[in-house]
Amino acid sequence: MSASSPNNGLCAICSDKATGKHYGASSCDGCKGFFRRSVRKNHVYQCRFVRSCHVDKDKRNQCRYCRLKKCFRAGMKKEAVQNERDRISVRRTPYDDQQRNSALSVATLYNADAATKSMLTQITTSDITRKALANVGDICESMKQQVMKMIDWAKLIPPFNEMDTDDKVSLLRSHACEHLLLSLARRSCMYNETLLLSNDTVITRTSLDNEQNKITCRIMDELIQPMRDIQMDESEFACLLAIILFDPSSRNLTISHRIRSLRWQVQVNLEDYINDRQYDSRGRFGEMLLLLQNLQTIAFQVIEQINAYRLYAGLKLDTLLLEMILQGSHFFIICVFSS
């Protein structure tokens, strides 16, 4: 049997179900994508063993060196990938004009996040138990700090920075609360049953009022736990923040088509990043996107809670928070941008 024979219907590399002949060999979409990324990015892999690892459907992500070798053995050709790229650039998909890859690469997003990440000194788990419990004032203060950081962060993303102020404001306001919550969850990932705010105060499952405790528990159970389960890394986290930011349905947006293609680009880069992981990554991308749904409903609950506090407990909210989180006027945010 020739390795690239398409008639057995199996991938010549990993024996998964083949979806056709790709780059010269009958293969599955996983191996097709792996080969394409490897060639396009000129990856050089190492084998940790003796260059004869077994490549099958379950183990195909374990050794990239041996998988790529098997792709070549099965008949895949580098040139076919390069030709495909030339053809696409002539045909132009709706997204092609946005294919300035590096502007939204995983590395760019990672750097933007790392540069503005809370510069809290590394705290050991024993220290966290001695931190002050946050009251409502601390929560508002910490949210304000995070909003300022979020603005600084977004400015480090080149395509965002090139937009008109109105579009920037529209994007940031649409999901500011989600951005804050996801950052809080990430910051708290290493602590047990404790949320660490950016102003160095903490929240436990029962340290606040009833309704707020429900929110705390949701953050722990529906955000932090799944993030821990998949061991989300910093690059993946940075991409998720960008996917949240580039929402084409944000209110008052004048460039929604462009935002859609920016988001698409981040998604594709994240997908590639995940697929290039050393170990099996199937399902991982989906898990991450599912987090966004929890995030959205929790954010909604937080906003309701803040509104209730303003109405019934006379909570005075900082202008910036009012405009960013509760969608008041946006005079103040414009001032922040032009300063």
Residues contributing to the site for Zn ion (CB under 5 A): 11, 13-14, 16, 28, 31, 47, 53, 63, 65-66
For residue 26, count other CB atoms closer than 10 A to its CB.
24
Closest CA to 219 of 242, 190, 188: 188
| Residue 86 main-chain phi, psi, to 5 deg | -60, -45
We find the least distance from the C-beta atom of residue 283 to Zn ion, in angstroms, to be 16
Q: How far is the CB of 27 from Zn ion (least distance, A)?
A: 5
55 Cβ neighbours under 8 A, 6+ residues apart: 13, 14, 63, 66, 67, 70
Closest to Zn ion by CB, 11 vs 184, is: 11
Cα dihedral 51, 56, 62, 63, rounded to 10, equals 30
Taking the complex as a whole, how short is the minimal distance between the CB of residue 278 and Zn ion, in angstroms?
A: 11
- The CB-of-4 to Zn ion minimum distance in angstroms stands at 12
- Report the nearest approach of Zn ion to the CB of residue 55 (Å): 8
Least spacing, CB of residue 173 vs Zn ion, in Å: 44
**Smaller CB distance to Zn ion: residue 28 or 215?**
28
Nearer to Zn ion, 16 or 200 (CB): 16
Q: For residue 89, count CB atoms less than 10 angstroms from its CB and return exposed for 0-12, middle for 13-18, buried for 19 or more.
A: exposed
**Nearest by Cα to 51 from 73, 83, 24:** 73
Would you say 65 or 332 has its CB closer to Zn ion? 65
Residue among 47 and 136 whose Cβ is closer to Zn ion: 47
Per residue in 128-155, is it b (16+ CB within 10 Å) or e — as a string? beeeeebeeebbbbbbbebbebbbebbe
Assigned token pair, 297: 């409903």
Q: Distance between CA 191 and CA 242 in Å, rounded?
A: 25
Nearer to Zn ion, 2 or 161 (CB): 2
Tell me whether residue 11 or residue 195 sits nearer to Zn ion (CB atom): 11
Q: Which of 259, 133, 153, 285 is nearest to 199 (CA)?
A: 133
- Minimum CB–partner distance for residue 269 and Zn ion (Å): 22
